[in-house]
Amino acid sequence: MRAALILGAAVWPEGPSPTLRRRTLHAAALWDAGTVGALVACGGLGRHPPTEAEAMRDLLLAHGVPPDAIHLEARSRNTHENVAFALPILRRLGASEIVLVTDATHAPRARLIARGLGLRARSSSPPLRGAHPGHTLRQALRELPATAVALWRLRRHG
């Protein structure tokens, strides 16, 4: 069975950020298309409640995804924790492959982490329609040092 691992993004005071909404709705489209058999929403509590995972669950339910297809990992605070904390859920589901749902700028690092933790992983990214170009550039530039940290963490801790 293939499961989607939806990687977290911010919850704003008024609700899910555009990034969180875009990723979640992309995962719902993967579910609708039959590409994945389960959805694992990842992300803990940031500055504003609810947790990122709970906000994703609410969006998925509003989209019509059945509750039993949605699984929450609601403790993580970063990409490494998203994947590491989701491992027990993925094992319980019997997921043989995962699809990381995240932005294209973030996907290479997310795949590196998932594969470093022993998962068969590929990624699927929503189109960046409506994303501010400056925000996308900042995301891409952030990935350079974040990838170095991810490599260090994987070598040190696995």
Q: What is the CA radius of gyration of the chain?
A: 14
* Amino acid identity, position 3: A
Helix count and strand count (H, E) for the chain = 5, 7
Count of domains for the chain: 1
pLDDT (tens place) for every residue of the chain, 158 residues total: 999 999 999 999 999 999 999 999 999 999 999 999 999 999 999 999 999 999 999 999 999 999 999 999 999 999 999 999 999 999 999 999 999 999 998 999 999 899 999 999 999 999 876 666 666 666 666 766 666 676 677 777 65
The per-residue b/e assignment along 3-12, b for 16 or more CB within 10 angstroms, e otherwise, is bbbbbbbebe
Of 113, 110, 103, 137, whose CA–CA distance to 9 is shortest? 103
- For residue 31, the enclosing domain spans 2-157
The pLDDT score that the predictor gives to residue 158 is 57
Q: What CATH number has the domain bearing residue 19? A: 3.40.50.620
Report the C-alpha gap between 2 and 36 in whole angstroms. 5
* Cis upstream peptide for 66 (omega within 30°): no
